């Protein structure tokens, strides 16, 4: 496991359309996934996408087996490795909530997302994943999959009055680490 550098907004590699993974269960893919899990855990991230460490592949990870100290009120999302994902809306309902991103440290913004989705894809072994999700779980999946199409959450903000520094917006929470 290697701690990988997380690219920050402004780096052109965050704007690419990521390539699909063609072959599963390879040493290369397992190393990538373990580096991503280690890197995400080291900064208490809610999720991480391969483009955020400069890897141009459709690989995202999210979730944890316990409460995330950065999002203590958020429900637990199962730890998931999701490759070549496809998101389908279950209906048109949206909801807005605060998001942060490890590639946009120190900031939070109010982002509208689909409330209920189905997502499909594969894990690192090539086993299919097919789930429905709503609320925070659906939000995390949409945020991470956006990284695969070169989209960072500030690009989704509609009301820039609800975008600012975490330490100012939420003075009570520990914003000393990366967002």
Site residues (CB under 5 A) for Ni ion?
Answer: 101
Is 167 part of the annotated catalytic residue set? no
Catalytic residue among 95, 99, 134, 144: 144
DSSP strands (E only) in 29-138: 47-49, 59-62, 80-89, 94-99, 107-114, 116-122, 128-134
Compare residues 125 and 149 and give the one whose CB is closer to Ni ion: 149
Residue corresponding to tokens 């779980």: 137
Q: How far apart are CA 86 and CA 45, in angstroms?
A: 22
Measured CA angle at 129 (ends 146, 35), to 5 deg? 60
Q: Token digits for 54?
A: 């400069």
Q: How far apart are CA 84 and CA 115, in angstroms?
A: 21
CB of 143 to Ni ion, least distance (A): 6
CB of 27 to Ni ion, least distance (A): 27
CB of 63 to Ni ion, least distance (A): 14
CB of 46 to Ni ion, least distance (A): 8
Residue corresponding to tokens 């914003």: 175
Compare residues 108 and 115 and give the one whose CB is closer to Ni ion: 108
Compare residues 29 and 146 and give the one whose CB is closer to Ni ion: 146
Compare residues 43 and 129 and give the one whose CB is closer to Ni ion: 43
Catalytic residue numbers read 144
């Amino acid at each position: 496991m290697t701690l990988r550098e997380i690219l920050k907004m402004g780096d052109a590699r965050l704007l690419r359309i990521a390539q699909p993974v063609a072959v599963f269960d390879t040493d290369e893919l397992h190393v990538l996934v373990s580096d991503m899990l280690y890197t995400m855990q080291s900064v208490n991230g809610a999720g991480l996408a391969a483009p955020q460490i400069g890897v141009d592949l459709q690989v995202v990870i999210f979730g944890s087996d316990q409460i995330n100290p950065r999002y203590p009120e958020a429900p637990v999302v199962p730890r998931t490795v999701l490759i070549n994902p496809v998101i389908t809306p279950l209906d048109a309902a949206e909801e807005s909530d605060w998001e942060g991103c490890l590639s946009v440290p120190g900031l939070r913004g109010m982002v509208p997302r689909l409330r209920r989705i189905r997502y499909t894809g594969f894990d690192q072994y090539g086993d299919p994943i097919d789930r429905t999700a709503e609320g925070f779980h659906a939000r995390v999946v949409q945020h991470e999959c956006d990284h695969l199409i070169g989209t960072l959450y500030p690009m989704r903000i509609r009301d820039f009055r609800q975008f600012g520094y975490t330490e100012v917006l939420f003075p009570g929470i520990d914003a000393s680490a990366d967002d």
